[in-house]
Amino acid sequence: MTRSTFGYLTPENAPLFTDLYELRMMQAYYNQGHNPTATFSLFTRSLPPNRGYMLTAGLEQVLHYVETLSFGDRAIEYLTELEFDEAFLEYLESVEFTGEIRALPEGTPVFANEPMLEVTAPIAEAQLLETAVINQIGFQTLIATKAARMRDVIDREGDGQRLVDFGSRRAHGTDAGIKAARAAFVGGFDGTSNVAAGEAFGVPVSGTMAHSWVQSFEHERDSFETFVDEYGDDSVLLIDTYDTVAGAETAAEVADARDVTLRGVRLDSGDLAALSKAVDGVVPEVDEFISSGIDEYAIAEFFDRDGVAAGFGPGTALVTSTDAPKVEGVYKLVAVARDGELEPTMKLSAGKVTYPYPKSVCRSEADGQYVGDVVGRRAERSDLPGEELLETVVEDGERVVDLPDLETIQDRASRLRRKLPAKHRAIDDPAPYEVRISDRLEAETDDLRRTLEARMLE
Shared domain check, 286 and 228:
yes
pLDDT over 70 (residue 303): yes
In a domain? residue 278: yes
> Between these two residues, 3 and 356, which has the higher pLDDT value?
356
pLDDT over 50 (residue 220): yes
In a domain? residue 167: no
> Between these two residues, 188 and 350, which has the higher pLDDT value?
188
Q: How far apart are CA 354 and CA 333, in angstroms?
A: 9
Shared domain check, 430 and 375:
yes
CB contact set of 354 (below 8 Å; sequence gap of 6+): 41, 330, 332, 334, 346, 347
What pLDDT, in 10s, does the model give residues 146-174? Answer: 999 999 999 999 999 999 999 999 999 99
Which pLDDT score, from 0 to 100, does residue 62 have? 97
Shared domain check, 429 and 334:
yes
Shared domain check, 271 and 356:
no
Neighbours of 396 (CB within 10 A): 10
Provide mean pLDDT across the span 26-32: 97
Which pLDDT score, from 0 to 100, does residue 6 have? 58
In a domain? residue 180: no
Under 8 Å between Cβ of 280 and 256: no
Q: How far apart are CA 325 and CA 48, in angstroms?
A: 8
Which pLDDT score, from 0 to 100, does residue 358 have? 98
pLDDT over 80 (residue 3): no
Res. 349 pLDDT band, cuts 50 70 90? confident
Provide mean pLDDT across the span 260-282: 97
Q: Taking the complete model, does pTM exceed 0.75, yes or no?
A: yes
pLDDT over 60 (residue 376): yes
Which pLDDT score, from 0 to 100, does residue 2 have? 47
Which pLDDT score, from 0 to 100, does residue 7 have? 63
In a domain? residue 94: yes
Shared domain check, 355 and 280:
no
In a domain? residue 198: no
Neighbours of 228 (CB within 10 A): 21
Shared domain check, 367 and 247:
no
pLDDT over 80 (residue 8): no
Shared domain check, 362 and 278:
no
> Between these two residues, 13 and 47, which has the higher pLDDT value?
47
Residue 40's identity, in one-letter code, is F
Shared domain check, 120 and 71:
yes
pLDDT over 50 (residue 1): no
In a domain? residue 385: yes
Q: Which of 65-79, 347-361, 396-410 has the lowest mean pLDDT?
A: 347-361
Shared domain check, 335 and 242:
no
In a domain? residue 438: yes
Shared domain check, 436 and 333:
yes
Q: In total, how many domains does the chain have?
A: 2
Per-residue HEC secondary structure of the chain comes to CCCCCCCCCCCCCHHHCCCHHHHHHHHHHHHCCCCCEEEEEEEECCCCCCCCCEECCCHHHHHHHHHCCCCCHHHHHHHHHCCCCHHHHHHHHCCCCCCEEEECCCCCEECCCCCCEEEEEEHHHHHHCHHHHHHHHHHHHHHHHHHHHHHHHHHHHCCCCEEEECCHHHCCCHHHHHHHHHHHHHHCCCEECCHHHHHHHCCCECCCCCHHHHHCCCCHHHHHHHHHHHHHHHCEEECCCCCHHHHHHHHHHHHHHHCCCCCEEEECCCCHHHHHHHHHHHCCCCCEEEECCCCHHHHHHHHHCCCCCCEEECCHHHHCCCCCCCCCEEEEEEEEEECCEEEECCCCCCCCCCCCCCEEEEEEEECCEEEEEEEEEHHHHHHCCCEECCEEEEECCEECCCCCCHHHHHHHHHHHHHHCCHHHHCCCCCCCCCEEECHHHHHHHHHHHHHHHHHHHC
What pLDDT, in 10s, does the model give residues 44-97? Answer: 999 999 999 999 999 999 999 999 999 999 999 999 999 999 999 999 999 999
> Between these two residues, 61 and 5, which has the higher pLDDT value?
61
pLDDT over 70 (residue 335): yes
> Between these two residues, 456 and 202, which has the higher pLDDT value?
202
**CATH code (residue 267):** 3.20.20.70
Shared domain check, 426 and 356:
yes
Shared domain check, 414 and 336:
yes
Domain that holds residue 287: 208-292
**CATH code (residue 400):** 3.20.140.10
In a domain? residue 67: yes
